[in-house]
Amino acid sequence: MVSRSMPSGEPWVDNLSQRRRRVIVALTLAALPMLLAWWWWCSVNSASGGLWFLIVVILLGQAVGGSLVLLAHWSRANRPDRLDERQRQLRDRAWVLSYRVTVIAIAVAVEGALAVPVFGLGRPITLDAGFAYPWGLASIVIFAVLPAAALAWIEPDPPAEI
Amino acid sequence: MAKPANRIEPLLHNRLAVLRAERGLSRGQLAEALGVNYQTVGYLERGEYNPSLDLALRTADYFGLPVEAIFSREPFPTMSSQLYPVATRPGQGG
């Protein structure tokens, strides 16, 4: 008989399959940029009403709910008294992965910003506060959740008990 | 034995599953004895995680066997080939 050997009392966040965790990571990391893109689109097209509110609530819930699940999973895996050598190694890999993603994201953003005056024929860069502040806030949230997201992404499914 | 695509360290073969079954231990019991998470025993058995020297020595101590009897860089011979070599099987060899 093959079964998952999850000892009783384990919280459900430890029982999520890798596939489900990856779906949660994708939804969580996509939610804030989608929310900001939706906000920007609505402001340009002056859309409002029930649909606007509904989509905002769904995307916000997606971002907050997903972040809480990822952080719960991370905090369980991040308690030093509960970690063995494999779990510590996995956590280190998650830190490295999130660091790489952060560095690449910052490099792309800086290069993109520098490319405007270089290739944009001397056009100045202007940052609208209404645009920059929400994106800055979203970036902080995403970068804060990134190590937890990386751990949830790379941690393989536990082996089945035979 | 499953092999993850991003594996960088060399694969270690082991007899953990056989030894555990021989002694009638669950993964949880072995994990508790070795001081690791129960999932780690599963990953070790599947060859998806190579133990540190410390954990390998603790495992050897627990089973009362030399470490090379439990972990090997080469695949272990099957039990049937060890118990009944080809030459001694009825109708085969001398």
B34 against A136, higher pLDDT: B34
**pLDDT-based confidence at residue A159 (cuts at 50, 70, 90):** confident
Contact list in B for residue A158 (CB cut-off 8 A) is: 39, 42-43
Q: Do B38 and A5 touch (CB under 8 A)?
A: yes
Place of tokens 């993109």: A112
For residue A27, the distance in angstroms to the closest alpha carbon of chain B comes to 24
- Among A53-62, A145-154, B51-60, which stretch is predicted with the lowest mean pLDDT? A53-62
Contact list in B for residue A86 (CB cut-off 8 A) is: 36-37, 39-40, 43, 49
For position A1, what pLDDT does the model report?
37
- Among A157-161, B14-18, B41-45, which stretch is predicted with the lowest mean pLDDT? A157-161
Percent of chain B residues past pLDDT 70, beyond the cut: 81
For position B81, what pLDDT does the model report?
81
For position A7, what pLDDT does the model report?
53
Place of tokens 């070599």: B85
**pLDDT-based confidence at residue A3 (cuts at 50, 70, 90):** very low
A143-157: average pLDDT: 92
- Among A37-41, A49-53, A79-83, which stretch is predicted with the lowest mean pLDDT? A79-83
For residue A4, is pLDDT > 50? no
CA distance B25 to B19: 9
A5 at B interface, C-beta within 8 A: yes
Contact list in A for residue B43 (CB cut-off 8 A) is: 86, 156, 158-159
Residue A22: CB atoms within 10 Å:
16
Nearest to B28 among A5, A82, A159 (CB): A5
**pLDDT-based confidence at residue A98 (cuts at 50, 70, 90):** very high
Q: How do the domains of chain B map onto residue ranges?
A: 13-88
Segment 22-61 of chain A within 8 Å of chain B by CB: none
Q: Do B36 and A85 touch (CB under 8 A)?
A: yes
For position A96, what pLDDT does the model report?
96
B63 against B76, higher pLDDT: B63
Q: Do B55 and A85 touch (CB under 8 A)?
A: yes
Place of tokens 């384990």: A10
Contact list in A for residue B51 (CB cut-off 8 A) is: 85
Which CATH class, in words, describes the domain spanning B13-88? mainly alpha
**pLDDT-based confidence at residue B6 (cuts at 50, 70, 90):** low
- Among A5-14, A27-36, A108-117, A119-128, which stretch is predicted with the lowest mean pLDDT? A5-14
Residues with Cβ < 8 Å from B48, sequence gap 6 or more? Answer: A156, A159, B2, B3, B4, B7
Are A91 and A148 in contact, with CB atoms under 8 Å apart? no
For position A109, what pLDDT does the model report?
85
A84 at B interface, C-beta within 8 A: yes
CA distance B40 to B26: 13
Q: What is the DSSP track for A42-93?
A: HHHHT--SHHHHHHHHHHHHHHHHHHHHHHHHHHHHT-GGG--HHHHHHHHH
For position A25, what pLDDT does the model report?
95
Q: How do the domains of chain A map onto residue ranges?
A: 17-161
CA distance A63 to B23: 48
For residue B89, is pLDDT > 70? no
User: Which of B49, B59, B80 lies closest to B16, judged by CA?
Assistant: B59
Compare all CA atoms of chain A with the CA of B6 and give the residue at the minimum distance: A154
